[in-house]
């Protein structure tokens, strides 16, 4: 997953010259895991986005600007509806306490993150 762009001018980045016309690939996944902006990026830590949180343009799951994902708002709405329904209707219990992660296009629980859901 990611996005492609074409260099409109010659660019010198970190000692590497990217010539005008070259196609470049940017992956939000790797940006979102950058240790410079996210200490311990593998940890589930929603509090990292509170207060001052990471600086602008360091977490871009939907990209940004005129080419950002057109389904962003709809996706966020669906996530809220889904989470609301799960947490209000069920008690969740993780069955593997120290679940490990594998990385494909994005992070995936190694054992599928088995959960026990019980109605309240």
**pLDDT at site 18:** 95
Helix and strand tally (H, E) in the chain? 2, 8
> In the predicted model, what is the mean pLDDT of residues 98-110?
83
Q: How far apart are CA 90 and CA 82, in angstroms?
A: 12
Is 57 a known ligand-binding residue? Answer: no
Q: How far apart are CA 38 and CA 49, in angstroms?
A: 10
Q: Is 46 helix (H, G, I), strand (E, B) or coil?
A: helix
Q: Which residues are paired to 93 by β-bridges?
A: 116
pLDDT band at 36 (very low <50, low <70, confident <90, very high): confident
> In the predicted model, what is the mean pLDDT of residues 6-10?
94
Evaluate if pTM is beyond 0.75. Answer: no
Summarised one tens digit per residue, pLDDT across range 71-88 is 999 999 999 999 999 999
**pLDDT at site 49:** 79
Q: Token pair of 12, please?
A: 């010198």
In the chain, pLDDT over 90 holds for what percent of residues?
Answer: 33
**Smallest Cα–Cα separation from 46: which of 35, 59, 27?**
59
pLDDT band at 48 (very low <50, low <70, confident <90, very high): confident
Q: How far apart are CA 42 and CA 33, in angstroms?
A: 7
Domain ranges of the chain: 1-67, 70-120
Asked whether residue 1 carries a pLDDT value surpassing 80, the answer given is: no
> In the predicted model, what is the mean pLDDT of residues 96-115?
85
Q: Token pair of 13, please?
A: 């980045």
Greatest distance between any 2 Cα atoms in the chain: 61
**pLDDT at site 80:** 96
* DSSP secondary structure code for residue 66 in this structure: G
């Amino acid at each position: 997953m990611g996005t492609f762009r074409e260099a409109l001018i010659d660019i010198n980045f970190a000692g590497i010259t990217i010539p005008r016309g070259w196609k470049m690939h940017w992956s939000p996944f790797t940006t979102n895991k950058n240790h410079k902006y996210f200490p311990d990026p593998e940890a589930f830590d929603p509090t990292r986005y509170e207060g001052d949180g990471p600086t602008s343009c360091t977490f871009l799951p939907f990209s940004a600007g005129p080419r950002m994902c057109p389904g962003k708002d709809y996706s966020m709405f669906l996530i809220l509806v889904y989470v609301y329904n799960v947490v209000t209707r069920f008690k969740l219990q993780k069955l593997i306490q120290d679940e490990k992660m594998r990385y494909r296009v994005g992070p995936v629980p190694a054992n599928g993150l088995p959960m026990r859901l019980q109605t309240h």
